Structure 1
């Protein structure tokens, strides 16, 4: 994949991820406004986290780390990729069906293990919600497989667009509930499994049009499946460790009223740049690196890694600065309405600033992990994740008596930087393909300086626009003005200093 094509892949996935995250913001704004931080929202967040947790464990984490490089290699080597994809589909369907059945039976134990600080009434509410939304894992896992097929063939749009369906359907359901006076929470939770069906239909159809109309059948145990499982198990353990971090944070937060809701809202805000940049880069980079390494194109692999790192930092560093400089205006304009008051906004803003400090680490992890997965190395990321898990759990539990509900956010950020350091340390001995080129080394300090200039402009502008930001009719215009000022100051400085060349972006956008 040539650099311009690689960049267009980043932008394609980034565009659809941006669309999904923007609609996700609308979804969270509606949830916070119509339901608000409190027992109902805490129960929904804890229940919906269960299928999402296992989805990352089975589909987006372990499974794709093993499946995508093998499928890409078979495409490159003219092997029977379709048969391998069909066997993987049948195996994944069996595992996720069994998981869903067990979760439905043992839902009370799952809720107690992940939100044990809830009151008995809130636990019962979460169990009920969990049994409705958990089947989402089955449909989303299969959708993730077809997304992996599409990504490996260089068709990124349909796979990246699939998450948009969830947000569109949920927003539509809550709007209808609000108009008709129905129970918003009930419409919300019942829509989720149906959205999973829609996402599976979209990706399955796109894969069929790409020549991979995989049909379900009885699972087969083959040498390829054996190799995929042996590769996936360490990645599953690594992803499982990351999910333990989320569970520990939720367990700590569940002991404080509304804290689960506050951290969820803050998480959604910093997930916007993480999803648009980090996840997009990881999705595009993994199959590209896998093909180049199989072809022994080390120069091409190094160039792909350097451009991915450059693209990630060019958008992540200014995003992190913005989250740390103006968290309160962002949260206030986005979430302060209806059932969400100024106290909720202040709490969410603190968490947003802390997560913003860790954003570069979270994104760079997505850039570095493909270096391991493309080589079939899923063991060392697991070992690194264990170290990060111990640090995260120790900090979250140890800091809670001192700083209260915000301890999980601090622990997540610090553990993220530790994980990044370990991933860099583990690159030693992998050859020149894991070393960034001179262009990236030249541009990175200029990107950072440009982002700091933007931060100063934002800080001054926020002071000047403070009256407008506090006025209901003007605050949306004031926030838009801040965003425009940030974009012009950052990209203008980056272009002048040589951190970002606008011609590179224009070329990729045209493609």
Structure 2
């Protein structure tokens, strides 16, 4: 891709010779800033390392001692309009923000993983687990996707509010909080009334399973208990959007951990009351406790957010319906939010299609849930780390004069995500079996369940690197005020996923593994379609000819990483098993997985460092920022 020439923070005062690049000219082209006024020499030009280029120098300019800048006319644009504090893609602007949010997100993801470990131990992949996963479809969709961080309501509200003044932002937030609470109340009431019909529609296969009637009854009761998640989801999404528009992203990253803690606490209370015998862990009452814990967690998230808004003078006040009908900002926000919500709803209908077919396979719903969580955990971390700080930046660069900066920022984010996600994907594919056994295999989760879930994790991991690219493209579309293109792509994806699911089960007989593979294939095709549409909209994003070399190098690094991780795990397991103290404390498997994963990811980066590949030094800068905080 031919990158547009970025505007620097300060003008360069003398021209320098063109630097030579060693590889991949589209990504490693030096960024030189022309001098608008050669007579002034206020700066020393020192070569440094570009965030996009690894081998080409970029000028880091500093004022000469004793130099005093001439007065700037009031009509001149401020050179600090794109300062690091405001531009999330400056050298350390994005990285410092991303580090803080990423640390909070990692803590939240660890608690989420601990929640799933506890659930796997107490319910495994049995009837209670199957009922819970079918019952949680709508509440999970409302609280995690529509009302969660990086959901369509959050993104559209954040991009809209970031363009408004402080007073307009406060008024629009107040109105949207009330409107979304009323909408959530209506949908939660309908869900409670028609819970039986919803379960019958989304899981028809329960009627033909051996314990289908019992599972169906448990799922219906659990869905009714989780309707509060639907009630507060819209209001929480609006509040998250308001916080993001003001640069307050820490609570957003920590918020999901509240629900995780509540679910873990509900399981602990049940075991203290009923014990951990096999009969008690198969009781429908356990599902009641888990569902109640999920609802309590969502309500606690909402209450804490209300307190934050109240302390920030964004308290909720009721408004009249006429105020809603006459507000142009509300109309504009809903015009963007409705297609985005429908688009994300269609993405979840794709997952619902998987659950629809999985209802005919015993234990498939729970197995797909565990595998999907482990696949999405690292992706969610980097999604919150990169997408949240980039939202205001994308919104400010939507004018025709700033489209070049928008394309460059998007390319930087894509390169960084690929360099981080690919080694994680390679090692997770190779070490899927040992990881699942180490995390989940205890109590109700036996060796057969471990083997089943590890195969699903492998199938999901194949398409995981493209998921975050799809999220980035969707954010750019929403920033440009276009929610129709993602909607169109997701409509096509639904039909494709349904066809592939049917073929996987009825024609090829691939079972639950075929459902996971079809999801990966549909995600890859969706990303290609979004990139093509976005490229046409912005006048080109990626030059395919220039990207052939980098993609080939990344594929070679993936193969090296996977082989290194597999070989290292087998050798480490053999040698560490001979150490008595490690066997005594059961650390052989843990150390083998950790060391093999580290060696596998290191083998991925080593060729990139020698080739001076773009993106590697973004990772290095992110790590340096993390250590310096």
**Structure 2 length as normaliser, TM-score?**
0.75
Figure out how many residues of one structure are paired with residues of the other and give that number.
509
Shift of 1:286: 2.6
Shift of 1:190: 1.2
Deviations 1:61-91 (A, max 9, x none): 442343222111114xx66111111111111
Match of residue 590 from structure 2: 476
2:464 maps to which of 359, 374, 389: 359
CA RMSD of superposed structures (Å): 2.7
Q: Tell me, in whole angstroms, the C-alpha distance in 2 between the residues paired with 1:464 and 1:370.
A: 44
Match of residue 214 from structure 2: 121
Match of residue 486 from structure 1: 600
Task: Classify the secondary structure of the residue corresponding to 2:429.
Answer: helix
| 2:153–2:341 CA contact under 8 A, matched in 1 | yes
Match of residue 377 from structure 1: 482
Match of residue 247 from structure 1: 352
| 2:371–2:457 CA contact under 8 A, matched in 1 | yes
2:111 maps to which of 16, 23, 40: 23
Deviations 1:121-160 (A, max 9, x none): 2111100011001211222332221111111111111111
| 2:115–2:260 CA contact under 8 A, matched in 1 | yes
| 2:501–2:514 CA contact under 8 A, matched in 1 | yes
Shift of 1:508: 3.5
**Residue 192 in 1 paired to residue 297 in 2?**
no
Q: Tell me, in whole angstroms, the C-alpha distance in 1 between the residues paired with 2:359 and 2:198.
A: 14
Q: Tell me, in whole angstroms, the C-alpha distance in 2 between the residues paired with 1:160 and 1:100.
A: 25
Aligned in 2, Cα 1:214/1:300: closer, same or farther, shift over 3 Å?
farther
Deviations 1:235-278 (A, max 9, x none): 22212211211111001111111111111110111011221123
Shift of 1:316: 1.0
Match of residue 229 from structure 2: 136
Q: Tell me, in whole angstroms, the C-alpha distance in 1 between the residues paired with 2:293 and 2:381.
A: 25
Match of residue 424 from structure 1: 531
| 2:228–2:299 CA contact under 8 A, matched in 1 | no
Q: Tell me, in whole angstroms, the C-alpha distance in 2 between the residues paired with 1:438 and 1:8.
A: 34
**Residue 452 in 1 paired to residue 559 in 2?**
yes
| 2:493–2:522 CA contact under 8 A, matched in 1 | yes
**Residue 53 in 1 paired to residue 141 in 2?**
yes
What does residue range 7-406 of structure 1 map to in structure 2 within 5 Å? Answer: 7-55=95-143, 58-60=146-148, 61-75=151-165, 80-118=168-206, 119-181=212-274, 184-210=286-312, 212-219=314-321, 220-221=324-325, 222-294=327-399, 296-401=401-506, 402-406=509-513
| Runs of at least 5 residues in structure 1 that lack an aligned partner in the other structure | none
Greater share of helix: 1
Q: Tell me, in whole angstroms, the C-alpha distance in 2 between the residues paired with 1:211 and 1:442.
A: 53
Task: Classify the secondary structure of the residue corresponding to 1:430.
Answer: helix
- Between structure 1 and structure 2, the one with the greater Rg is 2
Shift of 1:16: 2.3
Shift of 1:120: 2.0
Deviations 1:338-388 (A, max 9, x none): 111111111111111111100012121011111110011001111111111
Match of residue 411 from structure 1: 518
Q: Tell me, in whole angstroms, the C-alpha distance in 2 between the residues paired with 1:315 and 1:439.
A: 21
Match of residue 461 from structure 1: 568
Aligned in 2, Cα 1:173/1:216: closer, same or farther, shift over 3 Å?
farther
| 2:427–2:597 CA contact under 8 A, matched in 1 | no
Q: Tell me, in whole angstroms, the C-alpha distance in 2 between the residues paired with 1:14 and 1:440.
A: 29
Q: Tell me, in whole angstroms, the C-alpha distance in 1 between the residues paired with 2:134 and 2:365.
A: 8
Shift of 1:447: 5.1
Shift of 1:193: 1.3
Task: Classify the secondary structure of the residue corresponding to 1:257.
Answer: coil
Shift of 1:430: 2.6
